[in-house]
Amino acid sequence: MGIVNVTPDSFSDGGEFLDAEQAIAHGRELAADGADILDVGGESTRPGAEGVDVETELARVVPVVEALTGSSGPGAPVSIDTSKAAVAAAALDAGAEIVNDVTALRADSEMAALCADRGCRLVLMHMLGTPRTMQEDPRYEDVVDDVKAFLAERIESATSAGVAEERIWVDPGIGFGKTVEHNLELHRRLGELGELGRPIVFGSSRKGFIGKLTGVPPDKRLGGSIASTVIAYANGAEVLRVHDVGPMREALTVADAILTPERTPLRSPTADPGASW
């Protein structure tokens, strides 16, 4: 899942793709690099972020979703990263197929019915508190058990509102109300979320815990993001939400070959003097 942020203030690429043309070009590039899904978002959820109003978010995302879907799009399904039902509805109308709601249907009382009605895929993510406050001393009894119980309750809430269970994906919400140790524990014990019986989405790309471990700024966190994403994949994540699709795809292809050899066909490397190694 390649990230297309149409925002002025996202933590790692804020402002880079605010202009619709730039965001569309970026989405096409991510698809060409091998993204299977493009996740378009018009509101930053970084720690401390203020929300944006619905008109602003609509104006940012709808032209981008329109251009990246349909016959002129690059062919990867689009997900809309929003917690507002009006934005999700407009994005679905424009061609999006997945709703990625970081509040897991808690922010907008219309969201569950919309997703049930449209039959779209739905990502339910764990977050402790709100983006404005979530990093102020987050505490858990046991982070993995608590995240799992939360997601089980949100699945129940979504299905009782009419969302088909097989359309739901779950996400532990790396960085959303978690200390470095909470994030690391979620990597180590990610397999326990498999007991929810739904595909796991995992988004650690360039996030703060990598900076705290390595001391490097967001645009230099590729190495740390690869380590985190590969371990999440090895521990059961099926959808990896990332900024750097090309290098991540290569890392996951190699990881996949090690973990499941029968699934990986060999390719001929271009210009590789070391190919016979």
According to the binding rule CB under 6 A, does residue 7 interact with ligand HH2? yes
Angle formed at CA 205 by CA 73 and CA 265, multiple of 5 degrees: 65
According to the binding rule CB under 6 A, does residue 135 interact with ligand HH2? no
Inter-residue contact 239 to 169 (CB < 8 Å): yes
Q: Which of 86, 78, 177 is nearest to 123 (CA)?
A: 78
CB 82 → ligand HH2: shortest distance, Å?
Answer: 10
According to the binding rule CB under 6 A, does residue 225 interact with ligand HH2? no
CB 119 → ligand HH2: shortest distance, Å?
Answer: 19
DSSP string over 177-190: S--HHHHHHHHHTG
CB 203 → ligand HH2: shortest distance, Å?
Answer: 3
Pairwise CA distance, residues 73 & 42, whole Å: 19
CB 142 → ligand HH2: shortest distance, Å?
Answer: 20
According to the binding rule CB under 6 A, does residue 150 interact with ligand HH2? no
According to the binding rule CB under 6 A, does residue 3 interact with ligand HH2? yes
Pairwise CA distance, residues 41 & 4, whole Å: 6
Which one is catalytic: 60, 207, 221, 249? 207
According to the binding rule CB under 6 A, does residue 229 interact with ligand HH2? no
Task: Confirm whether 267 is a catalytic residue.
Answer: no
**Which residue from 57, 66, 108, 171 is in contact with ligand HH2, where contact means CB under 6 A?**
171
Please identify the residue of the shown chain whose CB is closest to the bound ligand HH2.
203
Structural tokens at position 227: 């380590």
Which residues ranging from 75 to 134 are in contact with ligand HH2 (CB under 6 A)? 81, 100, 102, 123, 125
Structural tokens at position 237: 């994540």
Query: Which regions of the chain does DSSP assign to beta strands (E)?
Result: 2-5, 38-41, 78-81, 98-101, 121-125, 168-171, 201-202, 239-240
Inter-residue contact 243 to 13 (CB < 8 Å): yes
Task: Confirm whether 207 is a catalytic residue.
Answer: yes
Query: Where does this chain bind ligand HH2 (CB under 6 A)?
Result: 3, 5, 7, 10-12, 41, 44-46, 81, 100, 102, 123, 125, 171, 173-174, 201, 203, 241
Residues designated as active site? 207, 241
